[in-house]
């Protein structure tokens, strides 16, 4: 079986995550022994050092030192808030959070990853609920007519010439008081809080997911378009939620990470698109039942984690079978969403009750895995 093959073949990170997330073993001695191997890796220590040295000026960016990359990179190694090694390194975060709270857009980037990592500071879940309400108020209408264009009628005075041939997001949708369109950062956040919010909020999340999974959304421009932040002030916006492995539209960043993200939502798993995506991945199955993805699906290069960069799992990439090991682990995770016995294709993995790990947040089980 794939699980046994991974335990025999993989390096510590995948073996640890296989034990905790797939096998859900109750053998705490084995879990702690394997975790100790993960923590001894130079890559792990480097990531913990990045966490220890975060400051409020490094929230949003493509460099490995930015919060939006540091936290999910630690999560990829199975490390989350509530674990001893993680908590020792994150002491600076208590000083950073209040500053981020006053920084406007930085919250849209930082809070999803703080929630995903298991932080429980006041205001994080409140922000998520407010974002859910704001986005849902737009997506519930099923409106995909989101663009204006620069011309004599629309005006858009002061728009840089380089932007004038690109679509402008209608100011009513994205203006100074909030971006009503869902961003890929929002999708990370919605996955992180799905089990922690009310039933009413989950219905709203499902609607938001339905909006971005719909075929009509495929017409959205990559990166959305130009954002008018204020009269005469324009930005090239990014962070669309376009689904990967989409037969209706080629999406250049065919990253498997985003497919795993959308597999967190029951309403996405039920779609033909998701079924087709799983079928598409079957072409990478080997004769012995493992998987070998194209290497660009497993990108480890610099860039934003949320766009599919930095997704290595600690395997030595000089090993001949590193891609087979990482691909098989990722596919095993995806197939768990399809094979779940609940009938809706949605699966939640809970690690064993290890004393040094916080598994409960505000009365809900914390599920850090995807």
For the chain, what is the domain count?
Answer: 1
Q: Residues 55-104: pLDDT tens digits?
A: 878 888 888 999 999 999 999 999 999 999 999 998 877 778 777 776 66
Q: Where are the alpha helices (DSSP H) in 140-254?
A: 184-193, 199-213
Closest by alpha carbon to 39, among 20, 58, 13, 14? 13
pLDDT at 358 over 80: no
In a domain, 178, yes or no: yes
Take residue 141 and report the two structure tokens written for it: 């209408």
Give CA–CA dist 169/180, Å, rounded: 11
Give CA–CA dist 157/269, Å, rounded: 44
In a domain, 182, yes or no: yes
Conformation bin of residue 310: beta by default, left when phi > 0, alpha when psi is -120 to 50: left
In a domain, 278, yes or no: no
Q: Residues 332-354: pLDDT tens digits?
A: 999 887 775 333 333 333 333 33
Q: Which residues pair with 182 in a beta bridge?
A: none
Q: Find out whether 13 and 41 touch, Cβ atoms under 8 Å.
A: yes
Percent of the chain exceeding pLDDT 70 equals 86
Residue span of the structural domain in which 189 resides: 123-242
- Provide the 3-class DSSP secondary structure of residue 69: helix
Give CA–CA dist 46/188, Å, rounded: 24
Q: Residues 166-206: pLDDT tens digits?
A: 899 998 898 656 889 999 999 999 999 999 999 999 999 99
pLDDT at 363 over 70: no
Q: Residues 254-272: pLDDT tens digits?
A: 578 899 999 999 999 999 9
In a domain, 328, yes or no: no
Q: Where are the alpha helices (DSSP H) in the chain?
A: 2-9, 12-17, 28-40, 42-52, 67-76, 84-89, 93-101, 105-116, 124-139, 184-193, 199-213, 256-262, 266-269, 272-281, 322-339
Q: What is the residue-averaged pLDDT of the chain?
A: 85
Q: Report phi then psi at 3, rounded to 5.
A: -60, -45
Percent of the chain exceeding pLDDT 90 equals 57
């Amino acid at each position: 079986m794939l699980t046994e093959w991974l335990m025999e073949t993989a390096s510590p990170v995948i073996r640890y995550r296989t034990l905790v997330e797939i096998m859900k073993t109750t053998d705490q001695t084995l879990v702690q022994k394997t975790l100790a191997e993960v923590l001894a890796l130079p890559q792990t220590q480097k990531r913990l050092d990045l966490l220890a040295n975060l400051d409020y000026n490094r929230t949003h960016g493509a460099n490995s030192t930015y919060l939006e990359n540091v936290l999910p990179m630690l999560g990829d190694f199975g490390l989350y808030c509530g674990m001893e090694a993680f908590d020792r390194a994150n002491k600076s975060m208590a000083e950073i959070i209040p500053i981020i709270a006053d920084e406007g857009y930085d919250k849209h980037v930082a809070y999803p990853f703080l929630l995903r990592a298991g932080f429980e500071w006041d205001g994080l879940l409140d922000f998520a609920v407010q974002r859910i309400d704001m986005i849902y108020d737009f997506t519930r209408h099923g409106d995909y007519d989101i663009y204006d264009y620069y011309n004599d009628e629309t005006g858009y005075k002061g728009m840089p010439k380089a932007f004038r041939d690109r679509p402008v997001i209608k100011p009513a949708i994205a203006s100074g008081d909030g971006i009503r369109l869902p961003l890929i950062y929002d999708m990370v956040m919605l996955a992180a809080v799905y089990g922690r919010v009310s039933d009413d909020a989950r219905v709203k999340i499902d609607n938001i997911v339905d909006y971005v999974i719909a075929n009509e959304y495929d017409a959205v421009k990559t990166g959305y378009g130009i954002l008018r932040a204020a009269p005469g002030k324009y930005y090239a916006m990014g962070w669309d939620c376009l689904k990967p492995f989409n037969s209706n539209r080629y999406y250049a960043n065919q990253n498997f990470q985003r497919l795993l993200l959308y597999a967190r939502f029951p309403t996405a798993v039920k779609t033909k698109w998701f079924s087709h995506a799983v079928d598409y991945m079957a072409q990478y199955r080997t004769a012995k039942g493992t998987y070998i993805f194209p290497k660009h699906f497993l990108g480890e290069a610099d860039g934003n984690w949320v766009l599919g960069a930095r997704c290595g799992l600690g395997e030595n990439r000089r090993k001949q079978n590193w891609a087979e090991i990482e691909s098989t682990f990722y596919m095993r995770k995806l197939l768990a969403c399809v094979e779940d016995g609940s009938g809706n294709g949605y699966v939640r993995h809970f690690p064993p009750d290890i004393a040094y790990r916080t598994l409960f947040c505000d009365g809900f089980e914390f599920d850090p895995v995807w």
